[in-house]
Amino acid sequence: DDPGRWVGTETVLLVEDEAEVRTLIRILLSLNGYTVLDAADPVEALSVCMKHTDPIHILVADIVMPHMSGIELSRQCRRLHPEIRTVYMTGYADRDLERYGIDEHTIPLLRKPFHASALMRAIRTELNPR
């Protein structure tokens, strides 16, 4: 795997409630060329979406968060930034996701803990032209 093929210059909105995890992902993305906007929860993320007038290319968000699911957050962000793509993260088991009505086979989903290359690959897969 050529690590150079996972770099990018796009803007990422990262939403993760665990500060340490958010910091690590922000550093990883920044080191690989991305501009990173980050938020601790969906409410803060929507505020960032409203204030940021340049394109936000991809949302990287937990599926299960306080106040709003990552899926609903993605819908609301898309209203403000129609170009936005999404990669979801979760530490939940399949049966817990099913309870939230989430079918992991229909969305780009990373299971925590994940390797840095898995995140970079998922982001590029969503951003690269189809």
User: Any idea what the CATH number is for the domain that residue 60 is in?
Assistant: 3.40.50.2300
* Structure confidence at residue 107 as a pLDDT band (50, 70, 90): confident
For helices 42-51 and 70-80, give the axis angle rounded to 10 degrees. Answer: 10
Task: Print the domain residue range for 12.
Answer: 3-127
What is the band of 130 on the pLDDT scale with cuts at 50, 70, 90?
A: low
How many independent structural domains does the chain possess?
A: 1
Q: What are phi and psi of 85, to 5 degrees?
A: -105, 170
pLDDT band at 99 (very low <50, low <70, confident <90, very high): low
- Which amino acid type is present at position 13? L
Query: Quick check: 1 pLDDT over 60?
Result: no
